[in-house]
């Protein structure tokens, strides 16, 4: 499962009203002690990133990758 969060002007910088940021993470469903379901974060695979990038390409939106932090 991919979780996508969208932030508008995440740094609250003046003059950056047109800046948007996406946070993408991949979650895998697991069972804890065989009973409780939980999700564990995993690395986003290249196929999922390509699919997400394709959606934005079709909309004419440029994606730039930045380091986590």
Within a domain: residue 13?
yes
Whole-number Å distance between alpha carbons of 65 and 53 = 11
Whole-number Å distance between alpha carbons of 57 and 18 = 18
| Mean pLDDT per 10-residue section of the chain, whose length is 69 residues | 84 80 85 79 87 89 71
Q: Which pLDDT does position 23 carry in this prediction?
A: 84
Within a domain: residue 63?
no
Within a domain: residue 18?
yes
The pair of three-digit structure tokens given for residue 44, joined into one six-digit string: 């986003």
Q: Which pLDDT does position 69 carry in this prediction?
A: 55
Within a domain: residue 65?
no
Counting the structural domains of the chain, the total is 1
Within a domain: residue 7?
yes
Within a domain: residue 34?
yes
Q: Which pLDDT does position 58 carry in this prediction?
A: 93
Within a domain: residue 64?
no
Helices (H), the chain: 46-58
Q: What domain range is 54 assigned to? A: 2-58
Whole-number Å distance between alpha carbons of 56 and 54 = 5
Give the CB-side neighbour count of residue 40, counting CA atoms within 13 A: 7
């Amino acid at each position: 499962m991919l979780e996508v969060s969208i932030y508008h002007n995440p740094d609250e910088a003046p003059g950056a009203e047109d800046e948007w940021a996406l946070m993408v993470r991949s979650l895998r469903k697991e069972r804890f002690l065989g009973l409780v379901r939980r999700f564990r974060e995993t690395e986003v695979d290249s196929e999922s990133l390509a699919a997400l990038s394709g959606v934005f390409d079709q909309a004419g939106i440029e994606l730039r990758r930045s380091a986590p932090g």
